[in-house]
Chain A
Amino acid sequence: MSTSAVTHHDVHAHHELGFIRTYIFSTDHKMIGRQFLFLGLFMMIIGGLLALLLRWQLGWPETPVPGLGGILKETEGVIPPEVYNMLFTMHATIMIFFVIMPILVGCFGNFLIPLMIGARDMAFPKLNMLSFWVGALAGVLMLVGFFVPGGHAAAGWTSYAPLSSVPQYTGTNWGQNLWCISLFFLGISSLMGSINYITTIINQRAPGMTFFRMPLVVWSLFITAILLLLALPVLTSAVALLLFDRTLGTHWFQPAGGGEPLLWQHLFWFFGHPEVYILILPAMGVASDVLATFSRKPIFGYRAMVYSMLGICFLSWIVYGHHMFVSGMSPYVGTSFMITTMIIAVPSAIKTFNWLGTLWGGNIRFTVPMLNGLAFVGMFVIGGLSGIFMASSPVDIFIQDTYFIVAHIHYVVFGGSVFGIFAAIYYWFPKMFGRNMSAWLGHLHFWPTFVFYNLTFFPMHILGVGGHMRRIYNPTQYEFLQPLQPINEFITISALLLGLAQIPFVINFLWSLFWGPKAEVNPWHANTLDWTAPSPPPHLNWGATIPTVYRGPYEYSSPEVSEDYLPQTRQLAPARASGGRH
């Protein structure tokens, strides 16, 4: 393929790059990946703290938050309702757009795609650099919003118009404007990234790397990139319209001027539902690779896994209306969205059963990435099953806008995506930074996280079934919710402990970055191409020659070799070289 045309001269070119070209304005996909990782982890701390603050208000409503007296002077540390609205709006906005997307798509997409398909870099390295810096600009703009008069956006991460489109309805002015502008830039960043990913995967695969020899994580990122390419521009346009309504006096979403409030919801969810799959598909890919590696088994039903991801990719465009069953959208349209939403559960079920099939008959090693990968599968099952309640439109009438939805999204996005992120970080850290993380601290991080995660989010199902609305400032204002208040308190305590459980991760990450033991080339005895490059891989990844691929990515415990793994690049004696189906 075209990458093999890279000359020997280029391989050594990195020696001439200065500090700024190597670490800041780098065009190296691995450095850009690391930059996205640091951006995402930094934002995760902010997003997590926002969540703890809003949990404090729900657990012990209108009591002063310890240590917040200095910031909220007027109320002596008590969170006022408009600040509470800002907290949950920004918690979700930051976690979705500036933590999960940058880490799963930005970091691992960038880092893994070229390394796993055998390319020296992305197809458009400069565009890639621009994608990160536009994304970073979006992040800065989003953070600036916290400091403008009137506070940050407070209309929910879904920013339903006209609450979001008329400044006086929320009292926020530049906060919501910056929210729009930031997401506009993020949309452009993601557009540049997705074009790059798609082009790279189609054009830059190493000799022998057919589509059906690609690791599932690359497939998942490929499909995610297609969703990003088609979905994010819809959001980008929608936030532009919202900004015009707010600042230029247009009336896209205001009935007073002939606009339509539901138009925002249609645009938002036409982006928003594919977005959910953007957040979960890469984690599914990560889990597939991690489960196969540590079960020492080929992935069960490789093609079924690919086809079910393609099925999700297609169906995700025609299910979005299930967010709008009680929005005022025609109930006849609701019926068609119920049918498609029920159908999209099938590919997820197929994937789950194939993960179980991968574990069957394995020789399973409970490493830290594996534990996180297994947690992903278990939590995704709960998140997937709870989705069936909402798919049934009559049941959704009751649970729409309750904590049941909050529980569901957190089982998918924390239980799924975030455990996927942890699995990926623990798994690829040795390759990314050339040093190993501490397994002991990894266990100390995983187990409390897993326990307190469930203690935090599982009881939210019960709140939701009790009718507890989401986004309310003080549940004790409602008689029918008062008996549920002890559950709210329990959740808040669990959430605080879940927050504390992240400390071992922060220590482990930072310590290992500088002082972790040097990593081998292939510490997990994995098959894919990324593990043939040095740890960390140099600029342009491999020496003079690009690896050649002879088989699929999951030839673990193959009878053709005595070891329990058979790398994609290893050439066997000609008579036996036919091994490795797919």
Chain B
Amino acid sequence: MKWFYWTGWLPQNASTYGKEIDSMYELIYWITAVTFILVAVTMIAFLIKYRHREGRRATYSHGNTTLEIVWTIVPALILVALTAMSQPLWARIKYTTPQSDLTIQVLAKQFNWEITYAGPDGKFGTEDDKTFDNEMHVPVNKPVVVLLRSKDVIHSFFVPQFRMKQDAVPGREIRQWFEATKPGKYELPCAELCGFGHSGMKGWVFVHTPEEYQKWLKEQGLSS
């Protein structure tokens, strides 16, 4: 079944908007699959039916205006509908970030993720900040804001199970968010070519239950 049903290949989803991205993906998958099958079947049927035979003459036709109008308007309507359906989702993910009590700084560099927590005072740039290499811990079912920066080249913060990807660009701070829905351990690869060590530049995102997360904060001296 997995072979014929493309969404079966998606990594298991573990974020709020990931589910919506998957539904959008699935919708486009079915539209394109049906279109492809219709076109391919038509083409093969024509190739068989109208294959060369001696003595037969091809139909002398230069086209058909009604058909041209139909096959311009129908795809256009489908594409406009897809745009209209994609836009609210895009806006929700990228236009704004939701209210959150957890903000994490991520500094990408060749070839590591430096992940910084503000510490008990809730402010970055103070003495109680704590930085981890390639390790991010977050609670489940809570929106998390990520402040992405880069020290050298462009990197890309990618968590496949969250359907989250955002480039980290030197000279900018980019605000992103996600909300994990399943506790677990997720790989955090860099998705933008960043040099010879690009492959293998990865970290882990640990999604904890609220209790475990509090415990972790306490262990690290991050709770107030």
Measuring CB to CB, which residues of chain A are less than 8 angstroms from any residue of chain B? 80-82, 84-85, 154-156, 160, 162-163, 166, 169-171, 254-256, 259-262, 295-304, 326-328, 331-332, 334-335, 338-339, 342-343, 345-346, 349-350, 352-354, 356-357, 359-366, 374, 377-378, 381-382, 385-386, 388-389, 391-395, 397-398, 400-402, 461-462, 465-467, 469, 471-474, 477-480, 554, 556-559, 564, 581-582
Contact = CB atoms under 8 A, between A and B. Distances in A.
A281 to B, nearest CB: 19
A326 B156 contact: yes
B154 to A, nearest CB: 6
A338 B90 CA distance: 10
A472 B190 CA distance: 9
A361 B59 contact: yes
Interface in B124-153: 152-153
A364 B202 contact: no
B174 to A, nearest CB: 5
* A-B pairs with lowest CB-CB distance, top 3: A255-B171, A361-B59, A467-B160
A335 B86 CA distance: 9
B62 A466 contact: no
Interface in B27-43: 28-29, 31-32, 35-36, 39-40, 42-43
Contacts of A338: 83, 86-87, 90
B163 interface: yes
Contacts of B189: 469, 472, 478
Nearest to A360: B46
A238 to B, nearest CB: 16
Contacts of A156: 193
A393 B86 contact: yes
A364 to B, nearest CB: 5
Given A342-B80, A345-B79, A465-B9, A300 B61 contact: yes
B72 interface: yes
Nearest to A347: B72
Contacts of B167: 326-328
B63 A465 contact: no
B158 A469 contact: yes
Interface size class of B (residues with CB under 8 A): 35 or more
Nearest to A469: B191
A368 B136 CA distance: 57
A503 B142 CA distance: 58
Interface in B1-49: 6-7, 9-11, 17, 20-21, 24-25, 28-29, 31-32, 35-36, 39-40, 42-43, 46-47
B189 to A, nearest CB: 6
A472 B198 CA distance: 7
Given A155-B193, A558-B60, 12 more contacts: A156-B193, A343-B79, A354-B63, A356-B39, A357-B67, A361-B50, A361-B61, A362-B59, A377-B43, A378-B43, A389-B29, A478-B202
A516 B47 CA distance: 30
A401 B166 CA distance: 11
Contact of B193 (A374, A394, A466, A471): A471
A163 B193 contact: yes
B164 interface: yes
A359 B49 CA distance: 10
B191 to A, nearest CB: 4
B110 interface: yes
Contacts of A80: 196
Nearest to A557: B58
Interface stretch (B91-99, B113-121, B211-219): B91-99
Given A381-B36, A400-B165, A472 B58 contact: no
A335 B156 contact: no
A382 B199 CA distance: 29
Contacts of A382: 36
